């Protein structure tokens, strides 16, 4: 497979809007994969992200193997833990939790993962991950023991994302948290995008076409949606490809 990161860059240069369907191995019934991917493949989705905050050993690998049977879309790991890394996927978001100050999620888990990544063909994409408060206590906060950034402290959010870029990260993932009550505000997305020279991923709490369009219009290059598809697969019908 061609470089997923290069494909993202090339899509952005053509002003294409990218959409990742997030699948949490802990919540997704593997036996639904075939039916679910009929809908995914007919939709405007461009990427599959796989990961979750709390996932049992081998659940991710089993699911990735199954997903690969039903789609040609790139499968990108979005791991909540080292145990979720599998060579069966195409790429790995190598996440640093820039919004928090827990060294385990800034460098500790990364060191732990190296023995697993040695010799692996996974494309590794260093990604600055930033959790912004969304009116709900999230699994990320619970697992990482960190607090999200305050949504009214926009300059701090902008400066943090820019620091991630200066550290050499290739993507910034701005996150309201899975199942967030409300998605990130226009001001946050726009402010961060204006300062960044690397692609911007936005996710959390996006449940309809209007919110999706707004996220793109104000600067998201790639939007991630999970819960809306988990709750109601008919959302894929709204996002069908137009041939
Ligand atoms: C979570 O950004 C993703 O990490 C997707 O969030 O489940 O709310 O769509 P939702």
Q: Give the residues across from 172 on adjacent strands.
A: 128, 200
Q: How many angstroms does the Cα of residue 16 sit away from the middle of ligand 1?
A: 21
Helix/strand/coil for 222: strand
Give residue-wise pLDDT tens across range 66-111.
Answer: 999 999 999 999 999 999 999 999 999 999 999 999 999 999 999 9
Let me know: does 138 contact 131? Beta carbons within 8 Å: yes
Q: How many angstroms does the Cα of residue 240 sit away from the middle of ligand 1?
A: 20
Q: Is the CB of 93 under 6 A from ligand 1?
A: no
Task: Compute the average pLDDT of residues 8-17.
Answer: 97
Residue 35 binned pLDDT confidence (cut-offs 50, 70, 90): very high
What would the two tokens of residue 23 be? 């699948």
Q: What ranges do the domains of the chain cover? A: 4-228
Q: pLDDT at position 55, please?
A: 85
Which CATH class for the 4-228 domain?
alpha beta
Q: pLDDT at position 1, please?
A: 60
Asked if the model's pLDDT at residue 243 lies above 90, the reply is no
Asked if the model's pLDDT at residue 24 lies above 70, the reply is yes
Report residue 129: phi and psi, to 5°: -110, 125
Q: How many angstroms does the Cα of residue 114 sit away from the middle of ligand 1?
A: 27
Asked if the model's pLDDT at residue 235 lies above 80, the reply is yes
Q: pLDDT at position 124, please?
A: 98
Asked if the model's pLDDT at residue 214 lies above 90, the reply is yes
Whole-model pTM: value is: 0.97
Give residue-wise pLDDT tens across range 124-183.
Answer: 999 999 999 998 899 999 999 999 999 999 999 999 999 999 999 999 999 999 999 999
Q: pLDDT at position 89, please?
A: 98
Helix/strand/coil for 37: helix
Q: Is the CB of 51 under 6 A from ligand 1?
A: no
Q: Is the CB of 228 under 6 A from ligand 1?
A: yes
Q: Is the CB of 22 under 6 A from ligand 1?
A: yes
Other residues' Cβ atoms within 10 Å of the Cβ of residue 167: 11
Average pLDDT, the chain: 96
Q: Please list, in sequence order, all residues whose beta carbon lies within 8 angstroms of the beta carbon of residue 209, skipping any fewer than 6 positions away.
A: 238, 239
Q: How many angstroms does the Cα of residue 119 sit away from the middle of ligand 1?
A: 31
Report residue 241: phi and psi, to 5°: -65, 140
Give residue-wise pLDDT tens across range 49-71.
Answer: 999 988 888 899 999 999 999 99
User: What percent of the chain has a predicted confidence (pLDDT) above 90?
Assistant: 94
Q: pLDDT at position 81, please?
A: 94
What would the two tokens of residue 44 be? 């405007």
Q: How many angstroms does the Cα of residue 52 sit away from the middle of ligand 1?
A: 10
Interatomic CA distance for residues 217 and 237, integer angstroms? 21
Q: Is the CB of 226 under 6 A from ligand 1?
A: yes
Residue 242 binned pLDDT confidence (cut-offs 50, 70, 90): confident
Q: Is the CB of 175 under 6 A from ligand 1?
A: yes
Residue 200 binned pLDDT confidence (cut-offs 50, 70, 90): very high
């Amino acid at each position: 497979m061609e470089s997923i990161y290069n494909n993202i860059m090339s899509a952005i240069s053509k002003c294409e809007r990218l959409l990742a369907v997030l699948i949490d191995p802990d919540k997704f019934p593997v036996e639904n994969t075939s039916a679910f991917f009929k809908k995914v493949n007919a939709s405007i989705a461009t990427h599959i992200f796989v990961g979750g905050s709390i996932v049992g050993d081998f659940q991710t690998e089993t699911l990735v193997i199954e997903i690969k049977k039903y789609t040609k879309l790139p499968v990108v790991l979005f791991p909540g833990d080292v145990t979720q890394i599998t060579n069966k996927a195409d790429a790995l978001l190598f996440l640093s939790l820039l919004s928090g100050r827990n060294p385990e999620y800034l460098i500790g888990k990364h060191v732990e993962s190296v023995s697993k990544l040695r010799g692996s063909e996974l494309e590794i994409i260093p990604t600055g991950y930033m959790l912004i408060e969304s009116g709900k206590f999230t699994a990320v906060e619970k697992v990482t023991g960190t607090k999200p950034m305050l949504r009214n402290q926009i300059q701090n959010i902008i400066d943090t994302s820019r620091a991630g870029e200066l550290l050499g990260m290739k993507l910034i993932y701005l996150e309201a948290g899975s199942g967030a009550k409300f998605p990130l505000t226009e001001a946050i997305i726009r402010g961060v995008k204006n300062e960044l020279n690397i692609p911007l991923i936005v996710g959390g709490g996006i449940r309809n076409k209007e919110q999706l369009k707004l996220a793109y219009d104000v600067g998201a290059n790639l939007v991630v949606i999970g819960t809306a598809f988990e709750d109601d697969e008919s959302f894929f019908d709204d996002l069908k490809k137009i041939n």
